[in-house]
Amino acid sequence: MRKIIHIDMDAFFASVEQHDHPELRGIPIAVGGAEHRGVVCAASYEARRYGVRSAMSGAEARKRCPHITFVPVHFERYKEVSAAIHSIFHDYTDIIEPISLDEAFLDVTENKPGIPLAVDIAKELRRRIWEELGLTASAGVSYNKFLAKIASEERKPNGLCTIHPDQALELIERLPVESFWGVGRATARRMHQLGIRTGADLRARSLQELQRHFGKAGQTFYDYARGIDERPVEYERVRKSIGCEHTFETNTAEPLELEQRLLEVLSDLKRRLERRSFRGRTLTLKLKFADFSVQSRAYSAPHLLEEAELEAEALTLLWGVELSGRSVRLLGLTVSNPPEELRPGMWVQQWLDFDPASLELKLL
């Protein structure tokens, strides 16, 4: 049986700031979000007590907690601390799947120190992260990724929870469906309409019924309800797309201004494509409007897109959007659909590709 640990750093960005700046300890802080159009990318636990959370506008955070302190984003520092955390992980296993800068799965079935119990490794990881970096982490231990992540949420912050095989089904029965991986707001709403609110409700439904309502995801939900998750800890990722997005300081509906801003996004995208030696067949344009609705348009070529083609195709996609007087707050471009033969040399870790300039879209 596999031994999987899920590590989730507690309020990571905010905790790093409080560690580096003792005067911020014990008070509500928000990382980012101070400007009129800013977005909170992390909130300390002191701020969360007032309902402040990531992806909230800075204005709303100030409204909920008038005495909150806003701190600028120091992404390079968070990346440095994340690398130090992963260095600790590698003392125990190299089978590590980074989910983000502050979250990862570790497969410790066979581990470097030869420690027999995964819970003991989790205890060591949390102890070392605290002693060496001054930060707290929550850990979940179980026999698959789904349950390890559920376990890490059970005793946050600064907690440790193990879900043994003989406990799994009883725990899953009590879980609200919102806790299941892959169940977002829309899926939860559909489940509620079907009378599915807990893991027990989900387990009572047949595979055929779940597939009829949820397609391929039906098999996944059927398995999760029975404590089954065969996904391995993937310690290498294949890059399938590269994108770039800009959020504007002020919204605009002017076609010429949108064209200029699109070219600025394209310029950044070209640099990223060159840096990663990435090419693809599909170009996707994304627009977010003032009301936060999103519209996308895509062009796929029968060949790999050349750099010289990107500008013409991007503008063509933009011209094809019917604005109807709506103003735009964000533009994004993504190149995807690389050929299979190019993929083996493109292993990347997603946590290294986080772009603070695109923070709003990634958090919303």
Task: Just list the catalytic residues.
Answer: 103
Encode 142-176: b = buried (16+ Cβ within 10 Å), e = exposed.
Answer: bbbbbbbbbbbeeebeebbbbbeeeebeebbeebe
d(CA 163, CA 174): 14
List beta partners, residue 96.
106
Phi, psi of 2 (to 5 degrees): -70, 155
d(CA 282, CA 279): 9
DSSP track, 65-118: -TT-EEE---HHHHHHHHHHHHHHHHTT-S-EEEEETTEEEEE-SS-TT--S-H
Integer-rounded Cα radius of gyration of the chain: 22
List beta partners, residue 330.
247, 288
Ramachandran assignment for 349, one of left (phi > 0), alpha (psi -120 to 50 degrees), beta (any other) = beta
H-assigned helices in 236-357: 255-276, 307-319
